[in-house]
Structure 1
Amino acid sequence: MRIDLTGKTALVTGSTEGIGFGIAQGLASAGATVIVNGRTQAKVDAAVARLGGSARGVAADLGSVAGHDELLAAVPQADIVVSNLGIFQPSDFFETDDATWDRHWQVNVMAGVRLARAYLPGMEASGWGRFLFLASESAFNIPVEMIHYGVSKTADVALARGLAKRMAGTGVTVNSVLPGPTLSEGVEAMLEAERAKTGKSIEDVAAAFVQEHRASSIIQRAATVEEVANMVVYLASPLASATTGAALRVDGGVIDTLM
């Protein structure tokens, strides 16, 4: 099986590091022209330099309408859009104010809504397109320590399903991808104190974290960024033409259901 995205333009939001950068790297390796997005010009420039080739970047905060408009002016059309941008903030439900709820909704949900509204019509006009939402296993396993985040990710899964039905028969597919615990830069930073204290490798510390806090994990470790990116690259390719409206898991078996 060979994935060839030569001639395709792929926009990946929130892609200066972590899973987003891994996805951008995977799409570029498959031949796509990748557009990197982040909030600061310095981080965007650094990511573009790491990718090399034909990659380019747009610095814009997609948690706002103004930021979305800046991105759209710079990138009016794309064949593949990966709505990866997301935030999370642990906070007890009774201490989580409206501003926190609204910020998570704007970044995790409305940023994707605006992207879909902007780019799906162009994909339909060309008869081909791939739109992907990065959700989370938290969409089904709502984390008690950040219910607001889980709710926003459930909304992403529902949004992808609804849009897939809306785009029926157009040659455009819409799916969501559900990572579980993944060893991104953010997770590494979170676990750094434990790594320094124990002297263990970051992979071993992450595995211990998964086994304690995500006990239903079948692989009993954190996934790599590349493992998540591989799923996205496949779904973004012509090979995945019969997969739409689906919630694809890269969660290591954390979600304990058959479907």
Structure 2
Amino acid sequence: MDLKLTGRRALVTGSSSGLGAAIARLLAAEGADVVVHGRDEARTHGVAEEIGAAAVAVGDLATDQGADAVAAVAGAADILVNNAGAYGHPHRWAEATPDMWALLYEINVISAVRMIQRLVPGMRERGWGRVIQIGGGLASQPMSEQPHYNATLAARHNLAVSLARELKDTGVTSNVVSPGAILVDSVKELVTDLAPEHGWGESWEEIEPNAARDFVPNDIGRFGRPEEIAGAVAYLAGPYGAYVSGATLRVDGGTIRSVI
């Protein structure tokens, strides 16, 4: 299926590995001119070469200078995927200091705001654009651990809806893709390391359904794949997603349960 992205320029932040790389790979395969972004120059260039990216942007979006550098490379971007972010350490309320809250908010929220403020005005002028935040189910169903991380996800969801209202009648949409637990390399390594003490089995075929049952119970019985999140982003990025704005598209196997 042709998602009609040929000729559209897309910046995917945090696309030098993992989920962001999968998103960049699919957008490029669908014909978009993808700008790969990361902070590690070698790794970012490696992904860009692999997928045939249009450009490489290296910079720390937690700073104005880094955001300026990335925006300059992105140029007249039609699609902005705000994927860059951090999970932080698994602190509980008594351990998460105000400084930790502030740092994670800077990385996970303000970095996205910086890119929105730099790229969306051009989209408005041209009368077409897509802004997609990568959020998560913890935005609406937070856990006791990682309160500062949970809160940053909620902020990403909230700002996407506010932006959608701001962009009314402009031809630019704003949405959220909300993944469940996704099987990037670091997650698979962690789960495999934890398997013996939890009795999840020895082979990955045994480990995955048992770990998913204990960690992220869902209707599919496994972890999500990066390509499945990329597919949701690609849909929202093109003309087939033109009537979707201010929405959260959950791709989590049914982890978050809601009737609306």
* TM-score category (smaller protein): over 0.9
Q: What are the Cα deviations for residues 161-184 of structure 1, in whole angstroms up to 9, with x where unaligned?
A: 000000000010000110001101
Q: Is the 8 A contact 2:176 2:247 kept in 1?
A: yes
Q: Please tell me whether residue 12 in structure 1 is matched to residue 12 in structure 2.
A: yes
Q: How does 1:86-97 map to 2 (within 5 A)?
A: 86-89=85-88, 90-97=90-97
SS in 2 for 1:63: coil
Q: Please tell me whether residue 212 in structure 1 is matched to residue 214 in structure 2.
A: yes
Structure 1 counterpart of 2:250: 249
| Cα distance in 2 between the residues matched to 1:69 and 1:206 | 41
Q: What are the Cα deviations for residues 188-218 of structure 1, in whole angstroms up to 9, with x where unaligned?
A: 23223246884311x5423322210223x11
Structure 2 counterpart of 1:40: 40
Structure 2 counterpart of 1:151: 151
Q: Is the 8 A contact 1:214 1:254 kept in 2?
A: yes
User: How far 1:245 moved relative to its partner?
Assistant: 0.3
State the AA in 1 paired with 2:215. Answer: H
| Cα distance in 2 between the residues matched to 1:244 and 1:35 | 23
SS in 2 for 1:96: coil
Q: Is the 8 A contact 2:55 2:73 kept in 1?
A: no
Deviation larger for 166-175 or 70-79: 70-79
| Cα distance in 2 between the residues matched to 1:169 and 1:59 | 33
Unaligned 5+ residue runs, structure 1?
none
What TM-score results when the alignment is normalised by the length of structure 2? 0.94
- Aligned positions, number: 256
| Cα distance in 2 between the residues matched to 1:196 and 1:256 | 30
Structure 1 residues 25, 120: closer, same or farther in 2, change over 3 A? same
Runs of 4+ in 1 over 3 A off after TM superposition: 194-198
Deviation larger for 233-242 or 71-80: 71-80
Q: Please tell me whether residue 229 in structure 1 is matched to residue 230 in structure 2.
A: yes
Q: Is the 8 A contact 2:56 2:73 kept in 1?
A: no
| Cα distance in 1 between the residues matched to 2:209 and 2:109 | 30
Structure 1 counterpart of 2:23: 23
State the AA in 1 paired with 2:36. Answer: V
Q: Please tell me whether residue 199 in structure 1 is matched to residue 206 in structure 2.
A: no
SS in 2 for 1:231: helix
| Cα distance in 1 between the residues matched to 2:182 and 2:206 | 13
Between the aligned residues of both structures, percent identity stands at: 35
Q: What are the Cα deviations for residues 92-129 of structure 1, in whole angstroms up to 9, with x where unaligned?
A: 11111122111210111001111111111100111100
